[in-house]
């Protein structure tokens, strides 16, 4: 993989021309994070004010969490990224690999779920992994809304179900939750594999990791039920498309979006400043409104009209938080098994 191939020629030249005292004089801050509607929100609501306040140019490089982690690995010893925004699983890996520096200025009223050891990262939004369904088609067919992870096995959804693969956090959460419902755990997901292979596969139209293709399959009417995150579903619903999010009765899984400043010589203090901006109460409410993220600040009052799908209050309290220290060690093994047994 070529190191950070998405940097523009201008950006590379700017990096090369930086003086030795980068922390005081750096004029470009490189931020790698999610694409799609999240990228639009960051570009519209965060970057312009941050650039103006700090006299800096922010270059945003979009990619999913595993792609961003791969960039960090490819650039080891010569990091060009200043801030990464990724899912909690890859973030734990980034910390373990030594890529993350300490976040300065972490708020005192942060939820415990949003804290990382030694403040090497910080949660910026709380998402639930559950079910998305097309409310219009369900109503037309007289189907009751889904309520359980077991609904993924219902044959009336044959070739109408979409699930991300397990190299995507949403798909991995589905595997884990089905395993837990059947006597398994993070250490033993055999039951989840068996259910996917024998009972869910007949319903699957696609194991689709791309958010854009996920929405296309719903817009075309090919898919009517999916495993997805509350933030993604809220963003899709904000476009006017008839979808809703379901917290399965057995529990939804916690997905924490997180940010960290990258550890490197002469790192810019603006990296922590950018992360602090993501934790600003105003931006937390923007992320809730535009993207369905549950706020990570305990003191933040949420207007009733916001957060219809987000994990807030009682919904947040009932979320299951996976043990990533176990899952990250198993993930490569599970992915090979998934490709061999399930997604063939």
Q: In a 10 Å sphere around its CB, with 0-12 CB exposed, 13-18 middle and 19+ buried, how is residue 241 labelled?
A: middle
- Decide if 65 contacts 86 (C-beta within 8 A): yes
CATH superfamily of 9-126+255-310: Periplasmic binding protein-like II (3.40.190.10)
pLDDT in the model for residue 219: 98
Q: With a cut of 80, say whether residue 11 has pLDDT above it.
A: no
Q: With a cut of 60, say whether residue 289 has pLDDT above it.
A: yes
Residue count of the chain, please give it.
344
Domain boundaries, the chain: 9-126+255-310, 128-254+322-341
CB atoms under 10 Å from CB of 333, counted, come to: 9
Q: With a cut of 60, say whether residue 14 has pLDDT above it.
A: no
pLDDT in the model for residue 24: 42
According to DSSP, the residues that pair with 180 across neighbouring strands are: none
Specify the 3-state DSSP secondary structure of 87: strand
Q: How far apart are CA 287 and CA 278, in angstroms?
A: 9
Q: What average pLDDT does the segment 35-53 reach?
A: 92
**Is residue 29 very low, low, confident or very high in pLDDT (cuts 50, 70, 90)?**
very high
- The pTM of the full predicted model, rounded to 2 decimals, is 0.79
pLDDT digits (tens, 9 = 90+) for 301-315: 888 778 789 998 788
- Decide if 296 contacts 110 (C-beta within 8 A): yes
pLDDT in the model for residue 26: 55
Q: With a cut of 70, say whether residue 323 has pLDDT above it.
A: yes
**Backbone angle region of 247, left / alpha / beta, with phi > 0 → left and psi within -120 to 50 → alpha:** beta
**Chain CA centroid to CA 110, Å:** 19
Nearest alpha-carbon partner for 175 in 147, 197, 151, 202: 197
For the chain, the straight-line distance linking the first and the last C-alpha, in angstroms and rounded, comes to 25
The residue written with tokens 């509350």 in the block is 230
Same fold, 9-126+255-310 and 128-254+322-341: yes
Percent of the chain residues topping a pLDDT of 70: 92
pLDDT digits (tens, 9 = 90+) for 126-149: 999 999 999 999 999 999 999 999
Q: With a cut of 70, say whether residue 23 has pLDDT above it.
A: no
pLDDT digits (tens, 9 = 90+) for 94-125: 999 999 999 999 999 998 889 998 999 999 99
pLDDT digits (tens, 9 = 90+) for 262-280: 999 989 999 999 999 999 9
pLDDT in the model for residue 36: 81
Q: In a 10 Å sphere around its CB, with 0-12 CB exposed, 13-18 middle and 19+ buried, how is residue 179 labelled?
A: buried
Torsion over CA of 98, 100, 105 and 110, rounded to 10 degrees?
Answer: -90
pLDDT digits (tens, 9 = 90+) for 232-255: 999 899 899 999 999 999 999 999
pLDDT in the model for residue 231: 87
Q: How far apart are CA 106 and CA 124, in angstroms?
A: 11
Q: With a cut of 60, say whether residue 18 has pLDDT above it.
A: no
pLDDT in the model for residue 179: 98
Q: How far apart are CA 189 and CA 45, in angstroms?
A: 40
For residue 251, what are its two tokens? 């529990």
Q: How far apart are CA 76 and CA 80, in angstroms?
A: 9
Q: With a cut of 50, say whether residue 15 has pLDDT above it.
A: no
Q: With a cut of 90, say whether residue 8 has pLDDT above it.
A: no
CB atoms under 10 Å from CB of 139, counted, come to: 11
Q: Phi first, then psi: give them for residue 181, nearest 5 degrees.
A: -65, -15
pLDDT in the model for residue 10: 36
Q: What average pLDDT does the segment 207-212 reach?
A: 91
Domain 128-254+322-341 grouped into CATH 1.10.10.10: no
Q: What average pLDDT does the segment 227-236 reach?
A: 92
């Amino acid at each position: 993989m070529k190191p950070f191939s998405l940097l523009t020629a201008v950006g590379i030249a700017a990096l090369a021309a930086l003086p030795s005292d980068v922390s005081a004089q750096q004029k470009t801050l490189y931020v790698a994070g999610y694409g799609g509607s999240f990228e639009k929100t960051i570009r519209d609501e965060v970057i312009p004010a941050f650039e103006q306040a700090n006299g800096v140019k922010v270059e945003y490089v979009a990619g999913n969490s595993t792609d961003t982690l791969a960039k960090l690995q490819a650039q080891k010893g010569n990091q060009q990224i200043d801030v990464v925004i990724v899912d909690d699983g890859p973030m734990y890996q980034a910390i373990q690999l030594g890529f993350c520096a300490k976040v300065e200025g972490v708020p005192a009223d942060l939820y415990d779920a949003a804290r990382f050891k030694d403040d090497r990262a910080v949660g910026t939004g709380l998402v639930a992994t559950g079910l998305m369904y097309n409310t219009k088609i369900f109503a037309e067919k007289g189907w009751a809304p889904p309520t359980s992870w077991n609904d993924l096995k219902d044959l009336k959804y044959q070739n109408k179900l979409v699930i991300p693969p397990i190299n995507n956090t949403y798909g991995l959460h589905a595997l884990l939750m089905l395993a837990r419902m059947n006597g398994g755990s993070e250490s033993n997901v055999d039951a989840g594999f068996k259910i996917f292979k024998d009972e869910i596969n007949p319903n699957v139209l696609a194991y689709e990791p791309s958010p854009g293709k996920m929405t296309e399959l719903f817009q075309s009417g090919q898919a009517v039920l999916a495993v997805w995150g509350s933030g993604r579903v809220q963003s899709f619903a904000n476009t006017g498309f008839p979808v809703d999010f379901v917290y399965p009765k057995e529990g939804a899984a916690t997905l924490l979006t997180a940010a960290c400043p990258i550890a490197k010589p002469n790192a810019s203090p603006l990296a922590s400043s950018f992360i602090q901006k993501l934790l600003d109460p105003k931006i937390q409410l923007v992320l809730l409104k535009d993207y369905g993220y549950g706020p990570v600040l305990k003191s933040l009052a949420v207007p009733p009209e916001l957060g219809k799908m987000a994990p807030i209050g009682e919904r947040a309290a009932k979320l299951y938080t996976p043990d990533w220290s176990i899952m990250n060690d198993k993930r490569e093994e599970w992915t090979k098994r998934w490709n061999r047994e399930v997604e063939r």
